[in-house]
Amino acid sequence: MKKVLILGSTGSIGCQALDIIRENSDKFSAVGLSCRSRVDNLIMQIREFRPEAVCVGNAEDAQRVREEFPELNVYYGDEGLIEIAKMDCDIVLNSLMGISGLAPTYQAISMGRDIALANKETLVTGGKIVTDLCREKGVKLLPVDSEHSAIFQCLEGNKEREIKRILLTASGGPFRGRSLESLSDVTVEQALNHPKWSMGSKITIDSATMMNKGLEVIEAKWLFDVPGERIDIHVHPQSIVHSMVEFCDTSVIAQMGLPDMRIPISLALNYPERLDYSGESLDFFTVGKELTFEKPDRKVFKCIDLAYNALEEGGSYPVVMNGANEELVAMFLAGMITFTDIPNTIERVMELHKPSKAETVEEILAIDRESRVMARKLVRR
Ligand code: MN
């Protein structure tokens, strides 16, 4: 029986992970759960899965949960996430949103727990310290992001072989093919209407700006130790090929499947074995009849180059880019700025940034806070 701690259990990935645990209750138990704001959903999850510990967003919610479940360990807030990350378990599924995932992941790795990572911002902001600590502690970092799970699967049995390049696929998001001018007045609703994947609102906006793909380039660099210039984005609107790896002999291996996050989640939870799944099979005679690939439009989707530049500069730059992006996406969702304000302001924040040390979780979180303040200031002007 594998004991699973799910950070972010009421989000899209967390709920799908609990579906998998429910259907495989002989293999997994959910020993810890967390939510930020959907405490009603969490309470239903506690009733069903009977975890030993939970973490909620604030003190009032913690009090409410304690009253209903007196025997449960209840934590709250950012500190609570670090505390619950210390609990006894075999694997931590991190499906938190944004940089809030960094400190609890780092804590869980230091405890020697394997990590199923759905929170790419952990590696974007703390890639070096996180992967160093994984090596030191002998911890497995298992990607849940569909593209990175694909690359991971392409590398199985090929670990010692030289990678020529990673072909990172992208759906292109809801605005594929649009001109830059036509993006200035898109609405929040249009940006949230993703053609292929149903996800949380932050990552859906990141997909619309294609910052999501930029973040994934940085994530791939840290997971697979391949430099940015050998990671090529391929826009593939059908979302059937989830990514590919080309080896030194030019042989290309791809991983394919219907767009369904349960596949990467279940592989990460049950690694190295695969789990049975009664989902629909990929039928190449219908859905795979036309698989197309095109270059991303880097002039329209400026976030791609911002991310490659941040990776190239290294150090604090990816932290600054990520912090500004998180802040600006929240402002766009709140109706405070336009869609094109997102890339334009990130660019300005990065130009104004003076490189600083980003070698501890505390330093990284401090840089993150500064970049958010800077982004807000630039928007007000
Ligand atoms: Mn992805």
Q: Dump pLDDT digits (tens) for 289-313.
A: 899 999 999 999 999 999 999 999 9
> For the segment 318-336, what is each residue's pLDDT rounded down to a tens digit?
999 999 999 999 999 999 9
Q: Could you tell me what percent of the chain has a pLDDT over 90? A: 95
CA 255 to centroid of ligand 1, rounded, Å: 14
How far is the C-alpha of 169 from the C-alpha of 294, rounded, in Å? 10
CA 131 to centroid of ligand 1, rounded, Å: 19
> For the segment 71-115, what is each residue's pLDDT rounded down to a tens digit?
999 999 999 999 999 999 999 999 999 999 999 999 999 999 999
CA 146 to centroid of ligand 1, rounded, Å: 5
CA 329 to centroid of ligand 1, rounded, Å: 17
CA 213 to centroid of ligand 1, rounded, Å: 7
pLDDT at 49 over 80: yes
Q: Could you tell me what percent of the chain has a pLDDT over 70? A: 100
CA 145 to centroid of ligand 1, rounded, Å: 5
CA 148 to centroid of ligand 1, rounded, Å: 7
How far is the C-alpha of 318 from the C-alpha of 358, rounded, in Å? 10
Q: Tokens in use for 215?
A: 């973040």
Q: Tokens in use for 283?
A: 């039928």
Check residue 280 and give its pLDDT.
92
How far is the C-alpha of 96 from the C-alpha of 94, rounded, in Å? 6
CA 95 to centroid of ligand 1, rounded, Å: 13
pLDDT at 134 over 90: yes
CA 70 to centroid of ligand 1, rounded, Å: 39
> For the segment 161-210, what is each residue's pLDDT rounded down to a tens digit?
899 999 999 999 999 999 999 999 999 999 999 887 778 899 999 999 99
CA atoms 283, 286, 289, 294: torsion sign: negative
Using CA atoms, how far residue 270 sits from 60, 265, 288, in Å, is 36, 9, 28
